[in-house]
Amino acid sequence: MLSLLDLRARIDAGTLTPHGAVGLAREAIAARDDAVRAFACLDPRPAVAQEGPLAGIAVGIKDIIDTADLPTGMGSPIYAGWRPKADAPVVARLRRLGAVPLAKTTTTPFAFLDPTATRNPRHSGHSPGGSSAGSAAAVGAGMLPLALGTQTGGSVIRPAAFCGVVGVKPSFRLLPTVGVKCYSWALDTLGLFAARVGDAARALALLAERPGIDLVADTGAPRIGVVVPDFCDEAEADALAALQRAARAAERAGARVHDLSLAPLFGEAFACHPVIQDYEARQALAWEYAHHREALPPLLRAALDAAQDVGTDAYDAARRTAHRARRSLKDVFGEGDVDVILTLSAPGAAPEGLASTGDSRFNRLWTLMGVPCVTVPVETTGGGLPLGVQVIARFGDDGRALAAARLIERAVG
């Protein structure tokens, strides 16, 4: 894979130019994308900045994020060739940092569950996950050092784990979702894909203008609570084994690790996620539903059909429960002898075939809680598919989640 920190170190040392670094990405795309199909479009003549902390870094932009210079298709024929007026703020920020938005990456239509044609870069017979399919696959295939995605349920953490890359879903609104096609305004969160935890931490710190995110000292002995939520269906054996492997490795590296169970309130909150998502989605996509229902793909159309009946009372009740759970989660970190939670990134490795993007049940609660989540690759199945684990910290403590993920990355590496 292309490492952001490695490329930047070579540029800083003068052994690679920003043009050269972008050229590496373009060569990799030319060599590998016929098999992976990670892109909605490529910029044929990108402007390459010479200066800036991300100069030379080619970035993939999920195709629901507005770009002024490239079409933004939302993964849907309804928006085929659509050209927004302006770059989304996160894209403008990338440019200001010197990065090169080189390509739009595939997304499931409107970032819901209907699959893309993108293949898992580690095994072309398997899904890369979704909804940020192209971003995860492009980084996993070594075609890009950095890509942007979004998560409303599990659309960053899940595809990152499936593709064997690091994925970060930061604290809610750490990065602005302005200029990003909305599915649920209370849940949609911008996230990043990169080769290694350090790459993601550097990029997030720069994008968020928060250098502290990249400077959290490796906590010699983070207190890690291992969680396997009892309100989700069971995970597959290899995913549970990867979680145990990560926990034991962290322990050997000095972390204090213990099992943690979540109070029933979190199960209630978990059940509230779809209510909030559906109620908001039927508003966010009201124009598409009213004018282009027949052009919507089947899973999304069925979801929006059902969402028309979600009432305001149910939505309000769900938001109240989520609010209580967020306050309670603070206590888990504050009083629970826990710096970070370690849990599953997905129920197992990437599903076979392209019919399903996999299941977000180990992600949805954390998206609703707004807390930072990092997935880090831990091992590879006998079938050659990556497995990751997910590290979660309290709201606003993105640096700590990344530091703990880095400890695990080293410990299992």
Which active-site residues does the annotation give? 62, 131, 155
85 contacts a second copy (rule: CB under 8 A): yes
132 CB-near residues (< 8 Å, 6+ apart): 62, 105, 107, 111, 147, 149, 150, 151, 155, 156, 159, 191, 193
Rounded CA-CA distance 18/91 in Å is 18
The residue from 37, 62, 93, 196 that contacts a second copy (CB under 8 A) is 93
286 contacts a second copy (rule: CB under 8 A): yes
Q: Are 226 and 343 a contacting pair, CB within 8 Å?
A: yes
Minimum CB distance to a second copy, residue 154 (Å): 22
Q: Are 249 and 412 a contacting pair, CB within 8 Å?
A: yes
Q: Are 398 and 182 a contacting pair, CB within 8 Å?
A: no
Minimum CB distance to a second copy, residue 191 (Å): 17
Minimum CB distance to a second copy, residue 293 (Å): 13
Q: Are 116 and 106 a contacting pair, CB within 8 Å?
A: yes
312 contacts a second copy (rule: CB under 8 A): yes
295 contacts a second copy (rule: CB under 8 A): no
Minimum CB distance to a second copy, residue 184 (Å): 10
Minimum CB distance to a second copy, residue 66 (Å): 9
324 contacts a second copy (rule: CB under 8 A): no
| Tokens describing residue 105 | 């990456």
Q: Smaller CB distance to a second copy: residue 191 or 347?
A: 191
Closest of 342, 217, 224, 288 to residue 64, by C-alpha:
288
Rounded CA-CA distance 288/389 in Å is 36
Rounded CA-CA distance 71/90 in Å is 16
327 contacts a second copy (rule: CB under 8 A): no
92 contacts a second copy (rule: CB under 8 A): yes
Looking at 87-95, 235-243, 387-395, 405-413, which segment touches a second copy (CB under 8 A)? 87-95
Tally of CB atoms within 10 A around 39: 22
214 contacts a second copy (rule: CB under 8 A): no
Beta strands in 132-219 (DSSP E): 146-151, 166-169, 189-194
Q: Smaller CB distance to a second copy: residue 78 or 260?
A: 78
Footprint on this chain of a second copy (rule: CB under 8 A): 68, 79, 82, 85-89, 91-93, 95-96, 173, 176-178, 182, 185, 208-210, 280, 283-284, 286-288, 290-291, 311-312
